[in-house]
Structures are given as C-alpha cells and as structure tokens.
Structure 1
C-alpha cells in the first residue's frame, strides 16, 4: 500500500469522479484508475462502486477513508517536522471556515502568516460546521473556524473562543415587527422563516433555541449563504435569524433583538493530537493577533 494510492482514493471520494480526482492529483485518469484497482486487489474489497454516471463509496470504502486521511496527514506532519527542525516552517496548512466569518479578519491573518512562513502552502475551504468538525477529527483539516451554541466541543478537539455574537431577527422593509424593542421566538414562529441548511452551526443553534422556547417554526426556504438569505428575506419570503455582526454588513434591512436566544459562539478548533509545525505556527499567530473571548459555556 502506497501513500499515493491513499491520496488517489481520498481524491475520488471527495470529488465523486475518477476524472476530477485525476485532475486534482495531476495524473492521467488511466494511471489513477490502475492504482485504485491495485489497492482494491490488495485489500480484497471494493472501495468504490462505478457506474456510467457516478462513483459511490462502498461501506468498505467508508471504513477505509478515515484511516487513509489520518495516514496522509501523519505523512505530511512528518515532512513538516523535518523541514521545521532544519530551518523554517514548511509543509501545508489546511484552514476551514464558515461563511461569512466576522470574528476574524482571515485574509489579514493569512497575510501575516505568509510573511512569517512563506514556505507553507495554505489551502482554504468553506464548509458546513458539521463537515468541518469531521475533517478536523480526521486530520483532513488542520484548523477550522466554526460557530457553535453553548456546550462543549466534540471529544478529542480543542478550541479557542474568538467572539460571542447575539442573534437578531432580520425583517423585510415595512414588516409590522420593524421598530419593536425585542421579539420572542414564539412570535417569529407565527411566520415563515428563512434559514441556513441543516448541518450548519447557526441552524443547529437556532433550532435548539426555538425548541427550548417550546416554539415550532416553519423553515420555508433554506439558503446556503447569508447573502442569499438576505435576498429571500428582502423579497418577503420569510424572516431570518442572523448574527448581529453579519446583519450590520447587510444592505439595511431592519433588525430586532430576539429574547431567549443565547449568543452564537465563534471558535477556532483543532485536534491537539499530531498538530503539524505549520498549524502550531498558525495558532501562535492567532494568539498574538486575536484576543481570546474566554471559555465556551
């Protein structure tokens, strides 16, 4: 079993295509397919089911991919440790983030990081919180910026709180609630709502808040970006619940504070086991540049 075979298998799983995986790995498709076939023969199982339209990961493949990602991450950490011990920090750094991220000026932070560690190759990926946490657990992502509600992080992960942001109701112009001092979840539940998809941190946070208030709401539309959510609210397709810092950057739609909804917590999370030199350097910079907002509740 070779590292390149593991990398090819992970690429096929993540792209859902042998063609796209080959492009990503900078090899011809026939070579990648041959290596996957050799790997499957060695393992004695099928990792992927291939049809003319799609590639699906088999149950055996699902079991294989987690350790494969960990092995690739360990190899990359070993390379980074060797480079770091010789001179300056090198290797790769994978940073995941929610979108939008208002707690940290990520481009500015990365510019500072690049100035200090020009040999590190940085990859950015925007995902749902659910997916980011999974990738951090599997060492497919070094550090992720996520939003959470009250409570602890999943076991095995470390975190640093960067900001706490109250949620406000986002309303279309002319809505009867515009100008109110505050509004309760039960009142919002009387109308259709627009929200982010299941699996996002803010969606879990808002769902929990409505459940705690005993209010059952109807999410008529799901939007995968805050910009789209804003447009749907502006068209009177529903009310939204968004972080106050995000609402301040929107196009002037009225907002109202919401009672009984705890603040949204934004954290940087990472796996303390096997942190690479590049990731440790990023965390040191984060400590220097961004104030700590205290422990998560």
Structure 2
C-alpha cells in the first residue's frame, strides 16, 4: 500500500469523479484508475461503486477513507518535523475562521506568515464556531478563529482568548430605527431579523440575550455568511446583529449601539496535542504561546 494510492482514493472521494480526481493529482485518468484497482486487489475489497453517472464510496471505502487521511497527514507531519529540525518550516497549515473574525486582521496575518514561510501551504476554511472547533479536534484543521457567547467555552482544544466585545444592531439607512442614537432588545424584538443559522455560535449570542430578557423575535432569514446578511439588511428585509469590532468594515448601514447588548468572546483554538511546525510558527507569529 502506497501513500500515492491513498492520495488518489482521497481525490476521487472528494471530487466524486475519477476524471476530476486525476486532474487534481496531475496524472492521467488511466494511471489513477490502475493504481486504485491495484489497491483494491491488495485490500480484497472494492472502494468505489462506479456507474455511468456517478462514483461513490462503498462501505469498505467509507471505512478506508478516515485511516487513509490520517496516514497522509502523518506522513506530511513527519516531513514537516524533519524540515523543522534542519531549521526550515514547511508543510501544511489549515486554518478555520468564522465570517466575522475581527480580533485579528486575518488577510494581513496570512500575508505576513506566507512571506516569512513560503514553503508552507496555507489553506483557509470559513464556517461556524462549532464546526470549526470539531475540525480542530479531528485534526483536519490546525487552528481556528471562533466567536462564542460569554457562557460558552471551546472543549477538547487549547484556547487563547483574543478579544471580548458586544454586538450592535445594523439596519438600512431608511429604516425607522436609523434615526435613533441607540436601541434595546425589547425594541429590537419587534423587528424581523436576518441572522446566522439556529444552533451556530454566532446565532447563540443573540438568542441567549433575547431569551434572558424574556423576549421572542422572528428570524426570517438564516444565512451562513456575514456578506449575505449585510446584503439582505441593505435591502431592508430585516435587521441584523453583528460584532461592534466588525461593523467598521461594513459601509452603507446604520449602526446602533444596544443598551443591553449581547457579548461574545473571540478565541483562537488549536489541538491539545503537540502542534505541527507550521501551526507552532503561526501561533508564534501571532505572539501566542503554544504551551509546548
């Protein structure tokens, strides 16, 4: 069993196609198919069901994939550790971030890190705090930027508190509230809302505050991205609530301080285990002790 065969299986599984999998791996399809067939003979089981319309994993393929991914990550980690021992930082750095991260200028931080460590392959995934924290626990992300209510703390990962702040209300300039200096939750509860999906960390900050005040509100539009929330608010379809530190990046909306505002904490989280050399270097670049 070879690492390259595992890479081919992973590429086909993730793209759902032998053709696209071969394109991702920069090989001809016949070579990829031949290597996967060799691996299936060695394992004594088919990893994929192939039809004219689609390719999908068999139960054996589903069982093989997590172990193959771990083996590839271990090989990548081994190469990175050897390089670090010779004074070179290389390998993979997989980062997760909520859409409203504000405690760190992430594009600037990534640019500076890339310039300092050009041999590191950086990837970035946006998502909700719960999903990103779970990916850090599973090892598919090295670090993640989260935003959570003050009542919640990430579990199963190392954490560093980056910042605390309050949410503010945002409405379009013609909204009846736009002329107010501030607002409270009771008045906001009469508005239709655009917010993050129910159960997400971003949504929990607002839901907990309204529930604590004994208030019920209508969330008509549930979105995963801050950009879409902002566009819907600009169209006058509802009010929104966003971190105060984030809204200076958002022109064209009226920002209202909330007198009984919900609060949130931004965290950077990483694995409880020894961080990879690229992850340790990224933590050092942000002046965060990695605890090793």
The normalised TM-score by structure 2 is 0.83
Partners of 1:152 and 1:256 lie apart in 2 by 27
Deviation at 1:171, TM superposition (A): 1.3
Deviation at 1:128, TM superposition (A): 3.5
Structure number, greater radius of gyration: 2
- Over the aligned positions, Cα root-mean-square deviation in angstroms equals 2.9
Q: How does 1:108-147 map to 2 (within 5 A)?
A: 108-147=108-147
Aligned to 1:181: 182
* Matching of residue 219 in structure 1 with residue 214 in structure 2: no
* Matching of residue 152 in structure 1 with residue 156 in structure 2: no
Asked if structure 2 preserves the Cα contact closer than 8 Å seen for 1:69 and 1:140, the reply is no
Q: How does 1:1-297 map to 2 (within 5 A)?
A: 1-43=1-43, 47-57=47-57, 61-150=61-150, 151-155=152-156, 157-178=157-178, 179-184=180-185, 186-197=186-197, 200-258=200-258, 260-287=260-287
Deviation at 1:240, TM superposition (A): 0.9
Asked if structure 2 preserves the Cα contact closer than 8 Å seen for 1:149 and 1:201, the reply is yes
Q: 1:17 to 1:279 in 2, by over 3 A?
A: same
Asked if structure 2 preserves the Cα contact closer than 8 Å seen for 1:194 and 1:219, the reply is yes
Deviation at 1:47, TM superposition (A): 4.6
SS at match of 2:286: helix
Deviation at 1:96, TM superposition (A): 2.2
Q: 1:87 to 1:24 in 2, by over 3 A?
A: same
Residues 150-180 of structure 1, C-alpha deviations (whole Å, 9 max, x = no match) = 322132x112111223111111223233315
Between stretches 163-172 and 219-228, larger displacement belongs to 219-228
Deviation at 1:243, TM superposition (A): 1.2
Q: 1:266 to 1:55 in 2, by over 3 A?
A: farther
Structure 2 unaligned spans of 5+: none
Q: 1:271 to 1:61 in 2, by over 3 A?
A: farther
Q: 1:113 to 1:237 in 2, by over 3 A?
A: same
Structure 1 unaligned spans of 5+: 291-297
The normalised TM-score by structure 1 is 0.82
Aligned to 1:295: none
Asked if structure 2 preserves the Cα contact closer than 8 Å seen for 1:192 and 1:218, the reply is yes
Q: 1:25 to 1:264 in 2, by over 3 A?
A: farther
Residues 195-240 of structure 1, C-alpha deviations (whole Å, 9 max, x = no match) = 2345753134333444444444332223343222112112111111
Deviation at 1:78, TM superposition (A): 0.7
Partners of 1:38 and 1:73 lie apart in 2 by 22
Asked if structure 2 preserves the Cα contact closer than 8 Å seen for 1:170 and 1:239, the reply is yes
Deviation at 1:142, TM superposition (A): 1.4
Asked if structure 1 preserves the Cα contact closer than 8 Å seen for 2:184 and 2:261, the reply is no
Deviation at 1:39, TM superposition (A): 4.0
Asked if structure 2 preserves the Cα contact closer than 8 Å seen for 1:74 and 1:274, the reply is no
Between stretches 132-141 and 76-85, larger displacement belongs to 132-141
Aligned residues: 287
Q: 1:219 to 1:113 in 2, by over 3 A?
A: same
